[in-house]
């Protein structure tokens, strides 16, 4: 059976995602360590100041309300 490719530059199989360290461009890896203090780390909202946590929760709530409103509007046909 011949393996078909989606695009001529795409490999016929999906490889596993590389780890975070090797995903960096080696030419800018040193600059990123200098500027950012290393790799980007996930943001933990619980470690932020209170005003920033509340702002994050408000943004998330607005996003969820917009999503629910859009779903409601599409289901009711208004």
Instruction: Tell me the per-residue pLDDT of 21-75, one tens digit each, with 9 for 90 and over.
Output: 555 677 777 777 777 676 667 778 788 899 999 998 999 999 999 999 999 999 9
6 in a domain, yes or no? no
Report the pLDDT value the prediction gives residue 75, as an integer from 0 to 100. Answer: 92
Compute CA 4 distance to the chain's CA centroid, rounded to the nearest angstrom.
29
Range of the domain at 72: 29-76
Please tell me the total count of domains within the chain.
1
In a domain, residue 7? The reply is no
């Amino acid at each position: 059976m011949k393996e078909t490719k989606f695009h001529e530059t795409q490999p016929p199989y999906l490889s596993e995602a590389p780890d975070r360290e090797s995903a960096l461009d080696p030419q800018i890896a040193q600059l990123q360590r200098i500027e950012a203090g290393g790799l980007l780390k996930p943001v933990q909202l619980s470690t932020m100041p209170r005003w920033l946590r509340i702002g994050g929760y408000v943004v998330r709530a607005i996003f969820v309300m917009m999503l629910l409103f859009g779903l409601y509007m599409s289901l009711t046909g208004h």
